[in-house]
Structure formats: C-alpha cells, structure tokens
Structure 1
Amino acid sequence: MKNKFLSALAVVSFFAFTSCSDDDSSDVLSGETKRYIESLEVTSNDDPTKNRSLHITYDNEGRVNTATDNTDAISFSYDGNNLSNITGGGEDVVMGNVMTTIYDGYEFGEVLIYDDAGNPISLRLFKRNDWDNSISASYIATVSYDSNINPYFATLEAAGIIEVLDNVDLNFSMTPDAEELVKAKLLLPVNNGTKVVIRDEDTNEVTSEVTVVYQYNSDNYPDSAVITEKDNNNFINTFSAVYTYKQ
C-alpha cells in the first residue's frame, strides 16, 4: 500500500506518538459508541498559514471513501470489506494535523514506558545532522491522556486500517514497508492525548510542550478543542479545533 498507508493513519492520530501495544485493536471499541469523523477544522489564532482542515467521505456501506486535506486527497479501495489499496494525493495528505507540528524535525526512537492501558507515557526521540545523518541529540517525550477513546479510532476501523494493523506481526524481519507498518501499529492511539512535554535527554531542559483542552459531547467524542504550543523560548501558539461527525 506504499507509504500513503501511513499518511492515512496519521489522519487519525491527533497525538502522533501514542500506542495500543500489540493487543487486538478491535477490542478497543468494544462497548464504545462509534462516531465517524467527517471533518476537522483547525484554526491558528496567531498565523493563518497554519490553518488545517481534514474532510472524510464515506461510501454507501459506511466505509471511508476519500480523505482530503488543504491541498491533496487520497482514495480508499476495498476487496469486499478488506482494505486493498490507498491511492492519490501527496505523501503528506491530511498530515497537516496541528498536533504533529511539535514533532517536526524529531525522529521516533522507542517507547520507554507504557501505562496500564497500553498508552506510552515516555518515548525517546532523536534529531539527526543534515550532513551525515548521525544522531545529534536525543529527547524524552512525556505524554498524558484522558480516559476517553481516541475519537478517530472508529474512522480508522471504517477505512479497514484497524484490521490491517491487527495482522501486523511486530517480530517479523524488517523490509522498509514492514518497518513502517510496525511503527504504525506501535503509534496507534487508544486514548485521547492531552499533553506532551519534550525534554533534552542530556540537560533535562524542556524544548517544547503541547496541551489540549477538549469539549466533549454526550458520546464522549470531542466537539471542539483548544491547543496550546510552547517552545523553549516560551513562545506560544494557540489553535482552535472543531470536529463534525457522520450522521
């Protein structure tokens, strides 16, 4: 499915680095109300060029048909009820999720600690030198969550991606595509992330921080959110997010 599979996965990751470990992901929605994202509008309160949008359409059988961001679109194809291909758009389609901007320039290393729900609460990140690709610095990301389900999980299920990830073996030999799928499985959120703090591993200095405050509906899915980003110079960016769901 090429790497557009991962771009599609990122549609559903409001927090880029979270996980459901290696359990069967289909169990996550057991007993939960399923709401399917139709749109997400993220508006910067400081810089309009950072505004982002995500629009998702569904076919008559309730499967995800297309996902579109500010500039590109991808289409989903199925063989029966199984996802068979993802085509179109650029590699970064619907990657314009404002929560991922804090990770620009960082490379995911490993999950260090999981909480009892299987969410990682501590991760190691890296930065590399441009000239030789060697690691120049390492960072520790500490992640906090609330108790609500990841609001994108049902949408991923409707796209057939949950089933694909459930069939990924975390222990098989790493071809390039296999490595990306394993990473996708490890980073799939279960709960809704509310805060990330990134510290330099050597100095313990905070380099960046993101907090999210959600307003939930009666089904415990967010209708809106306020996102605050702060860098190591205490420069602050704020964003407003509005969610709509398939009726």
Structure 2
Amino acid sequence: MKKAFYFITLLCTAMLVTNCSEDSATDEFNNTNGNVATKLVQSISVVSAQDAQENKNIALSYNTNGSLNTISDGVETSIFVYSNGDLSNITGNGDNLNIEELYDSPYDAFETGNVLNYDNNGNPKKIEFYEEEYDFNTNSYTTEIFTADITYDNTHNPYFYTLQAGGIIEVLDGVQLNFSVNPQVPEIVQARLLLPVNNPSQIVYKNAQGEIIYTITVNYVYDSENYPTSATITAISTEDSQQSTYSTVFEYVN
C-alpha cells in the first residue's frame, strides 16, 4: 500500500484529528481549485547539481483505457492491477511520487506522520513524525519527535488526476473523515488525511526544541493551466551546513 498512496504511514492517531469532513477527496479538490484541466504525468526527471548518482528519471505508463499502468524509476517499478475497472492491487516497489523521495530528504514525514493541523484549504500544514536517532553515548537508538511545516503554492495538486487514473482517488473518496462509520483500513485513512489539494512548495523540518534542522524549497515554473513544467529545488541541512540543488522537468501525456 505504501507505494500506492505515497503518503502511507504507520497506524495513526486519526481519531484525534480535527479536520473532520464529509466531503470526498474529489469534492475538496474541486471546491478549492475549481475547473482544472486534466493532465496525466508522463515523466519526471531530476538532475542533481552535486552528484550525478542522485539523478532520477521517473516514467509513468498508461493502459489504452487511460488507467495508470506502471510507475518506474528504472530500478523499482510499481504495477497497478485492476479488477472490473477498479484498482485491486499494486505490486512491486517504489515511492516515486513522494516529494521527500524525489529530492532525497532524510526524513519521512509523509510516511510516518500525524497531521496536527490544516491550512484554510484543507492541506496538511503541520505534521508530527518520529525518527530513530543513534545515541553514541549510550550506543543505542532513541525515538525522537520532529515536525514538518508545509507551505503550498496557490495551484492545484499536479498529481491529482494521475492518482485518479490509478484508481487511488476513488479509494480515498470512500474514506469518511467524520469517524461516525465503522473502523476503516488505517493506511487508507492516513493517506486521505495527508492528501493535499494544492502543490507543496516548501517543507521545513524542526526538532523537538522547535529548531529548524532541514528545509526543502521548490520554485516551480507553471504552464498556462497551472501545471508545473520545471522546478528548482534547494535542500538545506542546518545541522550539517550543507546545501543541495536539483533541477526537475515535468512532462505530461499528450
């Protein structure tokens, strides 16, 4: 499931989330963004300015009926399996549409996080997550609490219709966030809670003391329909005083 929803996390404290809504994922996307042209991502290429081994070329293929078939970075491939037109399984490996994976973030907020609050559009604004840190004094691992503050461009989530072509949005549309229904699959509930309606442009990671430890900033170039065509990404590690830069090109199905 993890590779399917690019946000999938551990069992969350979902009952504590205050963003209760009876709107579906599609409703929230449409209510926020209005009439958006449908475009399906065909490829994403990422070029590292500092290390060619970090370069990535992610290719997406589609079936003749328009449904998503595969997502591959040349090493790991996710294969979408359908039954009677509905998504039934995703085989293989890969988290290729995860922004943290795209730009080699050392943290997994979108995989192990709980949403603390949302912005006015319903996007996850602050996520709390946990990481294991090695303590050289005790020669053991300890669990540390971190937060990620997320900022969005005033444009739609460019992956929404690609996820819809993969049957994922239909699955998320079935999730009820008012929790008045029977318990649901926690991974799918968490994916729904973390699905943004806008395009993330910055993630600021902080430690338990509120100190900034890592930042990812993405400056997009958009086409006339507000889909990104390219981007420049800057990743800064405050702890290591290191900065990394990436260039990204997005292509869509004609």
Fold shared per TM-score above 0.5: yes
Q: How does 1:176-195 map to 2 (within 5 A)?
A: 178-195=185-202
Identity of aligned residues (%): 35
Q: Which residue of 1 aligns with 2:3?
A: 7
Q: Which letter maps to 1:146? A: D
Q: Residues of 2 paired with 1:238 and 1:113: CA distance?
A: 29
SS in structure 1 at match of 2:74: coil
1:64 aligns to 2:37 (yes or no): no
Runs of 4+ in 1 over 6 A off after TM superposition: 130-133
CA contact (8 A) 1:150 1:192 kept: yes
1:26 aligns to 2:23 (yes or no): no
Shift in alpha-carbon separation, 1:104–1:82, aligned structure 2, 3 A: closer
Shift in alpha-carbon separation, 1:138–1:51, aligned structure 2, 3 A: same
Q: Residues of 2 paired with 1:73 and 1:122: CA distance?
A: 30
Q: Which letter maps to 2:6? A: A
> Unaligned 5+ residue runs, structure 2?
8-18
Q: Which letter maps to 1:8? A: A
1:196 aligns to 2:203 (yes or no): yes
Q: Which letter maps to 2:70? A: T
1:110 aligns to 2:114 (yes or no): yes
Aligned to 1:55, which of 59, 79, 99?
59
Shift in alpha-carbon separation, 1:108–1:85, aligned structure 2, 3 A: closer
TM-score by length of structure 2 reads 0.80
Residues 50-78 of structure 1: CA deviation (Å, up to 9, x unaligned): 11221111111111111111302222222
CA contact (8 A) 1:55 1:67 kept: yes
CA contact (8 A) 1:119 1:191 kept: yes
What's the Cα RMSD here? Answer: 2.6
Moved more, 37-46 or 25-34: 25-34
CA contact (8 A) 1:70 1:94 kept: no
Aligned to 2:86, which of 68, 82, 88?
82
Alpha-carbon distance, 1:106 to partner: 8.9
Q: Which residue of 2 aligns with 1:37?
A: 41
SS in structure 2 at match of 1:123: strand
Residues paired across the two proteins, number: 228
Moved more, 102-111 or 213-222: 102-111
Shift in alpha-carbon separation, 1:179–1:239, aligned structure 2, 3 A: same
> Unaligned 5+ residue runs, structure 1?
12-19
